[in-house]
Amino acid sequence: MPSRKFADGEVVMGRWPGSVLYYEVQVTSYDDVAHLYTVKYKDGTELALKESDIRSQSSFKHRKSQSSSSSPSRRSSSRSRSRSRSPGRPARGRRRSASQSREHKDDKKKTIQETSLALPKPSENNTKRYNGEPESTEKNDTSCIILEQKLKPDLEVKRVLEQYSLRSRKDDKKTEEIYSEKKTFVAVKPIEKVPTKTKELEFGGRIGTFMMIFLLPATVLYLLSMCKQDDPSLLNFPPLPALESLWEGKVFGIFVLWFLLQAVFYLLPIGKVVEGLPLSNGRRLQYRINGFYAFILTAAVVGVLLYFEFELHYLYDHFMQFAVSAAAFSLALSIYLYVRSLKAPEEELAPGGNSGYFIYDFFIGHELNPRIGSFDLKYFCELRPGLIGWVVINLAMLLAEMKIHNLSVPSLSMILVNSFQLLYVVDALWNEEAVLTTMDITHDGFGFMLAFGDLVWVPFVYSLQAFYLVGHPTTITWPIAAAITVLNCVGYYIFRSANSQKNNFRRNPADPKLANLKFIPTATGKGLLVTGWWGFVRHPNYLGDIIMALAWSLPCGFNHILPYFYVIYFICLLVHREARDEHHCKQKYGLAWERYCQRVPYRIFPYVY
């Protein structure tokens, strides 16, 4: 095992990832397994760097070049002289002496060397000189000059001049050595970040995640049992169902068939193929965007079943058994995912699920992007079986309401709930590409948390309002229905326009349509929007989500709090996710995020800090 070169607490020069800039950092720890140093920049940002990306401060002192310049006569006879005029170059027709030529060459070498070594410190300003950008708090111009782009043309011109000058091969060899030596300071090498051990545990750590593995399925069963009761009040605790009534092999087979049907639709060669965000090793995975086509094909299949008089309300009659089957399937899938992750390469592990604790990594997800060939399991489960299944369940509840209550048309409350949630699902599938930038895809591994959430929680808890209305019909007037519809439209408009604004800015910041947006530049090369929806609150998409969730529950009336569980849960979920986002962004953007928080103080709700 190689010995470490730098000690804890030692002040060294660390290269900023993705650039050629070196900054003064302090070594905080060293990972013996991954052979990575954890260093802390002056602005508080902590990163894991390889030993090759760290240099001692003494190596950044100016060194004299060891090359011997060629004679002035041979210099002047070179026919590959650059046509550009620099301020230090004499005008045409004016001859330079041999001493002037040597001085000019030495000055140019010194300038290149000083440019590559004398770099700004991050303590000056993380959003100004730190990024090589002009001193301005906000920018609506996306043009920036990178230091390495300045250096590269100069070195290439010098390389060509020296290659075609009339000198001896001995001089050329020495020059080549000097060029290679300078290149070590300027060339950009691909950075391979290997995830280190997860140090900060979420969801209560090992004990909290262990309890949630049992608490989440119990919560689903409790909510569904409450909806089945005539009086679904919190004080009226439902009786425990018999174990044999919770399981039926036919129901489990139907669920597996549904999962496989969506997998077939996912594998169809329709829809465009896009690349995701760069991984820690620099690779970009490819994803086929065909979720909306899968939804259309599913609708066709359901239509055929209804045409042949298939009783879709079978879902309502065996709803509890379907939930148990989905939970059992998600548990088996989670076990498979964890077992296969033990053989996954280190760079493919999730940064948040690599703690070394079995229960925690099993819950959070140990592997970031588990794939079987080109079939991405996490991406598939994120939008397909659960989200499309949510719409099918709502339709089954609508048909069950009509059959049980002998209605020729569904109730107005059921129509509103189905319409609002159908719009939400169709929007997610139509904008499927946007999910590639979410935390679920880029940060969280695929374990029990996401498997259970995608396959059980989304279809069986998000459809709680429709399930509730079957057994507890609620009558609302048209004016109330109109007011609820307006509320849902307002929430949807905030949600969609905020997400579109963010996604368009990430995809192409130079888009002329976004010229009116201002942003704070960061050291990562990205910008933090401070105008538009993202200058109103830090998470406007969450605000729109919560408004829509309220609109979904209002058609159920105010007799019981059970239909409002989704709103209460969703607020807790988004507040927790907002806290995760805050922590992640503070580590990633450093001082730029602090300046953003000062400019946009409200988190989710206006005037609520």
413 confidence band (pLDDT: 50, 70, 90): very high
Considering the domain architecture, whether residues 293 and 316 belong to the same structural domain is answered as yes
For residue 283, tell me if it sits in a domain. Answer: yes
What pLDDT is recorded for position 135? 37
Element (H, E) at 361: helix 358-364
- Of 429, 459, 475, the residue at which a domain comes to its end is 475
Q: Which of 77-81, 128-132, 480-484, 501-505 has the highest mean pLDDT?
A: 480-484
Residue 302 has pLDDT above 70, yes or no: yes
CA 539 to chain centre: 15
What pLDDT is recorded for position 231? 82
pLDDT in tens, 522-534: 877 778 888 888 8
* Model pTM score: 0.68
- Of 475, 494, 518, the residue at which a domain comes to its end is 475
Considering the domain architecture, whether residues 471 and 537 belong to the same structural domain is answered as no
Residue scoring higher pLDDT (604 or 409): 409
Considering the domain architecture, whether residues 362 and 215 belong to the same structural domain is answered as yes
b/e per residue, 211-242, with b = 16+ CB within 10 A?
Answer: ebbeebbeebbebbbbbebeebeeeeeeeeee
For residue 280, tell me if it sits in a domain. Answer: yes
What pLDDT is recorded for position 339? 95
Per-residue CA distances from 557 to 421, 481, 498, 560, 593 (Å): 17, 11, 30, 8, 42
Considering the domain architecture, whether residues 460 and 346 belong to the same structural domain is answered as yes
Q: Is 515 exposed, middle or buried (0-12, 13-18, 19+ CB in 10 A)?
A: exposed
The pLDDT > 90 percentage for the chain reads 41
For residue 367, tell me if it sits in a domain. Answer: yes
Nearest alpha carbon to residue 194 among 43, 340, 37, 16? 37
Report, as an integer, the average pLDDT of 25-49.
81
What pLDDT is recorded for position 606? 61
Residue 419 has pLDDT above 70, yes or no: yes
Residue 388, helix vs strand vs coil:
helix
What pLDDT is recorded for position 179? 39
User: Which distant-in-sequence residues (6+ apart) come within 8 Å of 80 by Cβ?
Assistant: 160, 161, 163, 164, 165
For residue 176, tell me if it sits in a domain. Answer: no
Considering the domain architecture, whether residues 537 and 391 belong to the same structural domain is answered as no
What pLDDT is recorded for position 522? 81
- Of 475, 495, 525, the residue at which a domain comes to its end is 475
Structure tokens at 135: 């001193």
What pLDDT is recorded for position 61? 55
For residue 188, tell me if it sits in a domain. Answer: no
Considering the domain architecture, whether residues 434 and 503 belong to the same structural domain is answered as no
Nearest alpha carbon to residue 319 among 219, 405, 458, 225? 225
b/e per residue, 485-511, with b = 16+ CB within 10 A?
Answer: eebbeebbebbeebbebbeebeeebee
For residue 559, tell me if it sits in a domain. Answer: yes
pLDDT in tens, 338-354: 999 999 988 889 988 88
Among 126-135, 337-346, 375-384, whose mean pLDDT is lowest? 126-135
For residue 294, tell me if it sits in a domain. Answer: yes
129 confidence band (pLDDT: 50, 70, 90): very low
For residue 597, tell me if it sits in a domain. Answer: yes
Per-residue CA distances from 361 to 124, 290, 337, 438, 589 (Å): 39, 31, 11, 20, 26
| Number of domains making up the chain | 3
Q: Alpha-carbon distance 544 to 498, whole Å?
A: 9
Report, as an integer, the average pLDDT of 513-526.
78
Q: Is 168 exposed, middle or buried (0-12, 13-18, 19+ CB in 10 A)?
A: exposed
Q: Which of 81-95, 159-173, 192-206, 570-584 has the highest mean pLDDT?
A: 570-584
Considering the domain architecture, whether residues 591 and 442 belong to the same structural domain is answered as no
Residue 275 has pLDDT above 70, yes or no: yes
Considering the domain architecture, whether residues 391 and 462 belong to the same structural domain is answered as yes
What pLDDT is recorded for position 267? 95
Report, as an integer, the average pLDDT of 208-218.
95
Considering the domain architecture, whether residues 493 and 388 belong to the same structural domain is answered as no
Considering the domain architecture, whether residues 446 and 303 belong to the same structural domain is answered as yes
Report, as an integer, the average pLDDT of 540-544.
87
Phi-psi group of 282: left, alpha or beta (phi > 0 → left; psi -120 to 50 → alpha; rest → beta): left
Considering the domain architecture, whether residues 469 and 346 belong to the same structural domain is answered as yes
What pLDDT is recorded for position 524? 72
Considering the domain architecture, whether residues 394 and 246 belong to the same structural domain is answered as yes
Q: Which amino acid is at 581?
A: D
Domain span at 484: 477-608
DSSP tag of 367 = B
Q: What is the CATH number of the domain that holds 39?
A: 2.30.30.140
Q: Alpha-carbon distance 517 to 496, whole Å?
A: 17
User: Whole-number mean pLDDT of the chain?
Assistant: 78
Decide if 13 contacts 56 (C-beta within 8 A): yes
Residue 156 has pLDDT above 80, yes or no: no
